[in-house]
Amino acid sequence: MDSIRQIVRALRVSSREADRSVGITGAQLFVLRKLDANAAASLNELAARTLTHQSTVSVVVSRLVEKGLVLRSVSQTDARRVVLRLSARGRAFLGRAPETTQERLVRAIEHLTQRKRAALRDLLSAIVKGSAISRETPELFFEGEVGFDNKQPLPAGRPVRHARVRK
């Protein structure tokens, strides 16, 4: 449990730091970095890069588009495909933004052997299933929670526990 607590705390601190330093959540910053890795990507490609579900990354991308950090356009080769790319403002954000904990975690997992990654996946899946918390598609860390990105203050003296804001 201590390791899980350390990871969750690091993710929370990282998201707050991103919000404080550049005004976006850690999840949004993580998506921006993955989009920056390739100049243009479809929503499905970006979801694969962020290791999350397409519907989750779609919500984050919509917020980034609203903020003028990501641009959407129709592909020149396939009119059915939407291409995503960073705006000049998005690039400027990345130039001054801190590295996210998500990036460090993904890098650490990528350095594990295939066997250890499979074991980690299986053990975490067993924990999620055994604790009956697998009912919803998971969001990117802390995206949409009170106190993150929506500019609502955190409750004084108490940590936020799975509070959701409907937009």
Digitized pLDDT (tens) for each residue of the chain, 167 residues in all = 888 888 888 888 888 888 888 888 888 888 999 898 776 668 888 988 888 888 888 999 999 999 999 999 888 888 888 889 999 999 988 888 888 888 899 899 999 999 999 999 999 889 888 888 766 665 665 565 434 444 443 333 333 333 333 33
| Predicted structure pTM score | 0.69
Q: What is the pLDDT of residue 154?
A: 34
Q: What is the pLDDT of residue 39?
A: 62
Per-residue buried b or exposed e for 88-120, using 16+ beta carbons within 10 Å of the residue's own CB:
eebeebeeebeebbbbebbeeeeeeeeeeeeee
